[in-house]
Every structure is written in C-alpha cells, then in structure tokens.
Amino acid sequence: MICLGVESTAHTFSIGLVRELKDKIEIIANEKDVFTTEKGGMIPNEVAEHHKRVCDDVLKKALTKANIKLNEIDVISWSQGPGLDPALLAGRDFAVKLAKESNKPLLGVNHCVSHLEIGRTTGAKDPVLLYASGANTQIIAYEAGKYRIFGETLDQGIGNILDSFGRYMGLGFPAGPKIEQLAKNGKNLIELPYNVKGMDVNFGGILTKCKQLFDKKLDVSDICYSLQETIFAMLVEVSERAMAHTGKDELVLGGGVACNSRLKEMCRIMCEERGAKYFCPENQFLVDNGGMIAFLGLIEYKAGVKTDTNILPHWRTDQVNVTWR
C-alpha cells in the first residue's frame, strides 16, 4: 500500500510518499519547497501563493524520486491543521483535486500528531515528545487514547521567537539556523528572564529583553548564545519533569527547532543523566515535511479513520482520538 501526503500548514509545501512493506513503513520520497525571505517574515497570503506556485513541481519531483506513477497510489492524506488558514487552504485544494483526478480516498491528519508519530520510527516505544517548532511548542505523551499535552508555551512557539528576534536583527526568515551559527561564537552568558510556570513556558519577555540588548549594541553572538541557552534550558527542564511524572524513560525530539545541535546536545545530556533513552529523527523529518503526513495518513487509513475536507486552523494535539494505537 502506498500513501501520498501533502504538507502545507505554514512555510513549507511538501509531498511525501510512503510504502508499506510487510511489517514496516518505508518513506520513499520526501520533497519540499520552502518559503523564505531575505528580510521580513512570513505573510500568510504570500505563503499560500508560494504553495500554489510550487505544488505541481514538488509532486513531480516526489513521484520521480519514488519512481512511481500517480495511479499506483492507494490513498492521499493532507495536513488538515493546525496552521495558517491561507496555507492550509492551498494544500487542501491541491489534495482534493489530486484525489478527484486519481479517484483515491482522501484523509486529513493532524500536523502535530504526525510530528509525534514519525518520531516513533526512531525506535522509541512510549516516549515523551519535545515538540519545538515554529508555531508550536509542546511537551506531549500518550495516555489513555490521546496524546496529552503536559506543558506548552503560553505565548508564541519557540521558533517564532527565534524568527522574530532574527527579523529584528535583519536576518530574514527562517532565522533559527542563523542564530545557531551566531551563538557558536558567544562567550558571555547574559542573564535573561527564565519563564517556566509549572509545566508551561513563555518567551515574550525574553524576546523583549534581547531586542533591548541588541539596541544597546551588546555583542550579537553573546545575545544569541544567551537566548539559546535560556530558552532551551526551559524546554529541557519541563521535558525532564514530564518524564519524571509519567515514569516514561524515552525522549523524542520533533519540530524544526530540534534541528539545532545545541538543543539536541542538552536533551541528550539530560537523558544520559537520568538513565533515559534519547531519540531524534533525521533533520528532514524534524522540519515540516510531507513524509510524516503520508506516514500518519497510512496508519490512520488502515485504522479506518475518516475525515471531512474542512481546514482546522486551531486543531489541538489533544483533540485527536488516537484509535490506531
């Protein structure tokens, strides 16, 4: 069985293809085109225009990569939410058209849950997931039929904070990888607000402080270094507490910010120190990607899940009934 997945919740338009072999699901293509800017951030309508412009090309690339034809596909899945309305609509329209043309069943999946499920391909059985992406920052674990959110950001996602600070410095979008490079030259740790409230975090005050330090012309590398150390430590603290409370001894990383080698290192050290196992998928499956949408699509389709074709921009992780586990 082959499933084609369409991802379009934010900056990335991507198509993934997965094939089920006996007891294993193999990802046979994961092609994407990412909206970027030299200056400024993401404007939702411009992002949607980008997706409409590149969708046919990305599809072609994915089919070529997997060396299959459209009629060999058994089912199509798409990212139904959460995400930016115009971006979601662009992906939805593309997926609906494709399903009609090829006469294949269509299934909407939750974007955040797909970040979780793809993480389990690393070998983790029942992990706590640290999901650190552009718009979402959540610490999640499976309990009694749902992926429960044990902690989350009370304001913006951690990636958005990095991107906002980057935009303020004139770095363009996405800024996370550029901040990571700058941080490598940082030497002095500047004290920033450290905002953990119970199991939740917030970043707004930290961003304001960093902007003020930038205006005061403090060393940019030192600010980036201090920003990373502070906000990553907050996530590691809450993840560790979630592991302690749930008694789970595995941690999986997900989301684009998990591409950051310092965040990976901090999580690995925390796991080592408490005798837990650390897992992190390849970077291509951390950022938004169609592969994870196809992967979850196939699992849900086999479990008999059916959906409508309405976009769900505010669909939360813990609203999904996990009937396939």
Residues in contact with ligand AMP by CB under 6 A are: 10, 12, 133-134, 159, 162-163, 174-177, 180, 255-257, 259-260, 287-288
The reply on whether position 288 binds Mg ion by CB under 5 A is yes
Least distance in Å: CB of 283 to Mg ion?
Answer: 13
**Backbone torsions φ then ψ of 261, nearest 5 degrees:** -70, -30
Q: What is the DSSP string of 233-302?
A: HHHHHHHHHHHHHHT--EEEEESGGGG-HHHHHHHHHHHHHTT-EEE---GGGTSS-HHHHHHHHHHHHH
Least distance in Å: CB of 40 to ligand AMP?
Answer: 14
User: How far is the CA of 284 from the CAs of 66, 118, 120, in angstroms?
Assistant: 16, 11, 15
- The interface partner of residue 271, options being Mg ion, ligand AMP, none and the CB cut-off 5 to 8 Å by kind, is none
Identify which of residues 119 and 176 has a Cβ nearer to ligand AMP in the complex.
176
Please give the Cα distance from 14 to 300 (Å, whole number). Answer: 19
Cα distance from N-terminal residue to C-terminal residue, the chain: 19
Identify which of residues 228 and 289 has a Cβ nearer to Mg ion in the complex.
289
Site string for Mg ion, 122-141 (x = CB under 5 A): -----------x--------
Whether the CA torsion 13, 157, 308, 20 is positive or negative: it is positive
Rounded to an integer, what is the distance from CA 201 to the centroid of its chain?
18
Least distance in Å: CB of 150 to ligand AMP?
Answer: 19
Least distance in Å: CB of 177 to ligand AMP?
Answer: 4
**Number of continuous H segments (helices) and E segments (strands) in the chain:** 9, 12
Least distance in Å: CB of 137 to ligand AMP?
Answer: 10
Identify which of residues 230 and 260 has a Cβ nearer to ligand AMP in the complex.
260
Identify which of residues 133 and 226 has a Cβ nearer to Mg ion in the complex.
133
Please give the Cα distance from 119 to 218 (Å, whole number). Answer: 38
Indicate the SS3 state at residue 207: helix
Identify which of residues 73 and 158 has a Cβ nearer to ligand AMP in the complex.
158
The residue count for the chain: 325
Least distance in Å: CB of 238 to ligand AMP?
Answer: 18
Would you state the structure tokens that stand for residue 315, as one six-digit string?
Answer: 């669909």
Identify which of residues 117 and 222 has a Cβ nearer to Mg ion in the complex.
117
Identify which of residues 31 and 288 has a Cβ nearer to Mg ion in the complex.
288
Least distance in Å: CB of 324 to ligand AMP?
Answer: 23
The DSSP symbol for 184 reads: T
Closest residue to Mg ion in the complex (CB): 133
Q: What is the CB neighbour count within 10 angstroms for residue 318? A: 14
The reply on whether position 33 binds Mg ion by CB under 5 A is no
Tokens 């996990």 -> residue: 322
Tokens 């089912």 -> residue: 75
Please give the Cα distance from 314 to 325 (Å, whole number). Answer: 24
- The interface partner of residue 86, options being Mg ion, ligand AMP, none and the CB cut-off 5 to 8 Å by kind, is none
Interface region with Mg ion, contact rule CB under 5 A, candidates 15-23, 148-156, 179-187, 288-296: 288-296
The reply on whether position 163 binds Mg ion by CB under 5 A is no
Contacts to Mg ion by CB under 5 A: 133, 288
